[in-house]
Amino acid sequence: MNHNTKDKNLMNQPKDQIYCFAKGVEEKIISNVQLNYAETQIDLTNLSEEEKQLKLNNAQQIVECFAHSLGAQNLLQHMLATQLLGVHELQQKLLIYARKSMHYPEQSQYYINAIAKLSNVFIQQVSLLHKLQGNSQQKVVVEHLHINEGGQAIVGQVTAHSKGVDNEK
C-alpha cells in the first residue's frame, strides 16, 4: 500500500475516526517530546538499562504533570510547557553560577545578563501559553459621541492643571 492509498483510505473514514487517529498520533508525539526533554535533563551514565528506564519514566512523568498543571491541551501547548520548564531550570542553574562568581564582576555580569534574558523569555512564553489557551483578554472601549452642528470635539484624555500663569486678555 503506497502513501497515496493510505491518504485516500484515511479520507474515506468518518470524521470521528480520523479525529481519534490524529489524537492518538498527537499523544505519541507529546510523549516523545516529554521523553526527549527528560533524556536531556538527567545523567544516564553508569546506569543499567533498568535504572535508565526507571529514571526516564520518572522524569517523563514529572514533565507530563508540569504540562498538565499548566493546562496544556494540544501538541503546541505541551511543547511550550516543556520549553518553559527548560528555561526555568537553566535560569536556576545560572543563579548558582552568578552567586559563585560575585568576586569576578565581569563574569558575574555575564550571568546576571543571561538570567535577565531568560526571565524575559519565560514571561513571553507564559504570555503566549495564555493566549493559546484563550485566557488573555483584550480591552476595547467604545464610546458614542454626539457632536451638534458647529460643535467641536477632542479625542483623547483631557486633564486640567491648576498650576501655571493665567492668560491675560
Burial 71-102 (b: 16+ CB within 10 A, else e): ebeeeebbbbbbbbbbbbeebeebeeebeebe
pLDDT for res 12: 59
Distance in angstroms (rounded) separating the CA atoms of residues 59 and 49:
15
pLDDT digits (tens, 9 = 90+) for 132-165: 998 877 677 777 777 778 777 776 676 766 665 5
d(CA 93, CA 71): 26
The residues of the chain scoring below 50 in pLDDT are 10, 18, 169
Kindly report the pTM of this predicted structure.
0.61
Q: What does the pLDDT read at residue 124?
A: 97
What integer best gives the mean pLDDT of the chain? 81
